């Protein structure tokens, strides 16, 4: 059964605000990820990469990529195309005083591939909410404007 959109899910993004600069927010988030026995695959430092490639005054931004390989294997067994939306990613941008964490809900992403994955997506979303709240994240908005 193919996902044709997710009924009732008109807000695919959730945005959190953390009262710390992006460097600190990334350190806190990766520490929590590790403590939860999740696999941290990569932290992309967009600001550094942009600076290294000649961009003047780039945004202070990161992408933290992590997951649970066992869960990912189950998702892919249901729909191999899910591989295009795995693992979990949280974008982080901000300034010296705060960070904004942007997350594309897995319920939405997985549901696009197969409606049978909606419940699993909700479980991942709950995990991400817990991670973000653990680092002091407060929901800013439920959808990017």
Q: Give the model confidence (pLDDT) of 8-27 as tens digits.
A: 456 899 999 999 999 999 99
Q: 7: pLDDT confidence band, cut at 50, 70 and 90?
A: very low
Report phi then psi at 42, rounded to 5: -165, 150
> 52, 33 in Cβ contact below 8 A?
no
Q: Per residue in 63-117, pLDDT tens? A: 999 999 999 999 999 999 999 999 999 999 999 999 999 999 999 999 999 999 9
Q: Report the DSSP beta bridge partners of residue 101.
A: 16, 92
> 8, 15 in Cβ contact below 8 A?
no
pLDDT of residue 143: 46
pLDDT of residue 141: 65
C-beta neighbour count of 53 within 10 angstroms? 8
E strands within 19-75? 39-45, 60-67
Least confident of 9-18, 50-59, 80-89, 122-131: 9-18
Would you say the pTM of this structure is higher than 0.75?
A: yes
CA 77 to chain centre: 22
Q: Per residue in 132-145, pLDDT tens? A: 999 999 998 654 44
**Thinking of the domain 18-141, which architecture would CATH place it in?**
2-Layer Sandwich (3.30)
């Amino acid at each position: 059964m193919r996902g044709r959109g997710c009924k009732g899910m008109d807000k695919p993004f959730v945005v959190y605000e953390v009262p710390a600069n992006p460097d600190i927010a990334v350190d806190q988030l990766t520490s929590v990820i590790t403590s939860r026995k999740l696999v941290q695959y990569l932290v992309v430092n967009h600001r550094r990469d942009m600076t290294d490639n000649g961009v003047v005054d780039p945004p202070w931004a990161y992408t933290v990529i992590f997951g649970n390989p066992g869960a990912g294997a189950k998702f892919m067994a249901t729909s191999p195309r899910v591989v295009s939306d795995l693992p979990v990613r949280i974008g982080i941008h901000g300034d010296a005083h705060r960070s904004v964490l942007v997350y594309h809900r897995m319920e939405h992403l997985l549901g696009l591939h197969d409606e049978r994955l909606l419940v699993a997506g909700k479980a991942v979303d709950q995990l991400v909410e817990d991670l973000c709240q653990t680092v002091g994240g407060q929901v800013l908005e439920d959808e990017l404007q």
